[in-house]
């Protein structure tokens, strides 16, 4: 367990609002409860409950959004989420979030994202490198393997990149707006687009034009794929050939074959899949088959807050469930370098970080 915490890790699938600390949610909910805006005891019960279906998760997200969606809070949760990941030795974090519009809060998708960026710059406990190397190369060359001496104190560093999520409830125009925002923010650490939100809602054709446009413009794309049975959609998603997919729970034999030939990396979220009842035990998770087939996979958390997990815990779970030794765990983590959406300079630096940690694991 301790070793999994110590291991340098790469997180590729983390939703901002799903990663908020319970303590922060409860604190914010209490304030809203006192103002009479929400029923605090009901929200408290929901936050503290553990097992939940996929449907309940999305109901909960709507409540989370009520609690967290104002500029100052978005900034605060971004800061805390990055600090929490860095504290467990995540050295590269791709954080995804859905830009939100909210007239009552005078919030636009743009101002929402500015609040996120403010959160990245507000991080104090670690050094955050979120700009592309072309924008601030100094940041990267100064990025020394893991623990570095900085201002006489030990400061860790973490790379952060942002993915903008399209919510499946959105229209084509709203999805397009998110893609345009991502393009506008390319110099501010935004590198790609994610398609997420309730998989029972929305049609693939609605998002396709925006996703195609994103791809055409050089943004990287990752899709939540196969969270529910929907053969046609899964087929179309694999045909679209995204740079990565998340989950891949309900694929049919023909899809597995297509996926394996395509070599599209899969973001694996063990605890999330168990807690939302898409698998009944870790042992039967499709991770095992993909891993044995040497298909590119990366362990991820999905929502550390919602599912009470950490990335270290996901590695520990994989190691204990599938009987991995230290060296296998190290390589599983290190292999994710190849699937990060950031540029080669970042990848080189990450390789150095893993080199420096190698002797503790091999």
The residues that touch ligand 5GP, with contacts defined as CB under 6 A, are 15-18, 61, 97-98, 165, 167, 196-197, 199, 224, 227, 272, 302-303
Closest Cα partner for 337 from 326, 316, 351, 327? 351
Residue 70 or 352 having the CB closest to ligand 5GP? 70
Residue 139 or 236 having the CB closest to ligand 5GP? 236
Residue 278 or 295 having the CB closest to ligand 5GP? 278
Residue 127 or 227 having the CB closest to ligand 5GP? 227
Q: Find the shortest distance in angstroms from Cβ 74 to ligand 5GP.
A: 9
State how far the Cα of 174 lies from the Cα of 180, in Å rounded to an integer: 10
Closest Cα partner for 95 from 2, 179, 183, 20? 20
187, 161 contact by CB (below 8 A): no
Query: Does the annotation count 227 as an active-site position?
Result: yes
Q: Find the shortest distance in angstroms from Cβ 292 to ligand 5GP.
A: 25
Structure tokens at 312: 């270290």
Backbone φ/ψ region at 36: left (φ over 0), alpha (ψ -120 to 50), beta: left
Q: Which residue out of 11, 80, 83, 227 is catalytically annotated?
A: 227
Q: Find the shortest distance in angstroms from Cβ 277 to ligand 5GP.
A: 12
Residue at token pair 């053969």 = 231
**Separation in Å, CA 91 to CA 159, 253, 335:** 6, 35, 14
Structure tokens at 155: 């400061």
Q: Find the shortest distance in angstroms from Cβ 150 to ligand 5GP.
A: 30
Q: What is the DSSP string of 253-290?
A: HHHHHHHHHHT--EEE-HHHHHHTTS-S-GGG-THHHH
Q: Find the shortest distance in angstroms from Cβ 194 to ligand 5GP.
A: 8
Structure tokens at 296: 């590119």
Residue 127 or 303 having the CB closest to ligand 5GP? 303
For the annotated catalytic residues, the residue numbers are 227
């Amino acid at each position: 367990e301790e070793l999994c915490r110590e291991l340098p890790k790469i997180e590729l699938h983390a939703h901002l609002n799903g990663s908020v600390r319970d303590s922060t949610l409860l604190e914010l909910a209490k304030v809203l409860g006192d103002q009479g805006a929400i029923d605090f005891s009901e929200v408290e019960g929901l936050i503290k409950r553990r097992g939940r279906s996929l449907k309940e998760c999305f109901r909960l997200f709507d409540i989370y959004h009520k609690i967290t969606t104002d500029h100052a809070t978005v900034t605060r949760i971004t800061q805390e989420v990055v600090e929490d990941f860095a504290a467990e030795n995540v050295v590269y974090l791709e954080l995804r979030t859905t830009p939100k519009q909210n007239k009552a809060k005078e919030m636009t998708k743009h101002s929402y994202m500015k609040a996120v960026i403010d959160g990245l710059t507000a991080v104090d406990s670690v050094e955050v490198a979120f700009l592309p190397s072309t924008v601030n190369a100094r940041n990267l060359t100064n990025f020394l393997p893991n623990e570095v001496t900085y201002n006489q104190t030990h400061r860790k560093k973490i790379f952060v990149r942002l993915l903008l999520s399209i919510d499946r409830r959105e229209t084509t125009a709203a999805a397009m707006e998110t893609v345009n925002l991502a393009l506008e923010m390319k110099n501010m650490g935004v590198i790609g687009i994610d398609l997420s939100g309730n998989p029972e809602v929305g049609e693939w054709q609605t998002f396709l034009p925006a996703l195609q446009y994103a791809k055409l413009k050089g943004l990287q794309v990752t899709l939540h794929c196969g969270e529910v049975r929907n053969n046609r959609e899964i087929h179309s998603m694999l045909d679209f050939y995204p740079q990565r997919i998340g989950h891949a729970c309900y694929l049919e034999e023909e899809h597995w074959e297509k996926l394996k030939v395509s070599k599209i990396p899969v973001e694996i979220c063990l605890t999330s899949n168990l807690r939302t009842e898409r698998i009944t035990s870790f042992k039967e998770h499709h991770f095992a088959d993909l891993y044995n087939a040497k298909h590119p996979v990366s362990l991820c958390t999905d929502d550390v807050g919602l599912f009470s997990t950490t990335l270290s815990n996901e590695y520990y779970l994989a190691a204990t469930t599938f009987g991995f030794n230290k060296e296998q765990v190290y390589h599983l983590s290190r292999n994710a370098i190849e699937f990060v959406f950031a540029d080669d300079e970042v990848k080189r630096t990450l390789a150095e970080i893993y080199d420096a940690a190698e002797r503790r694991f091999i």
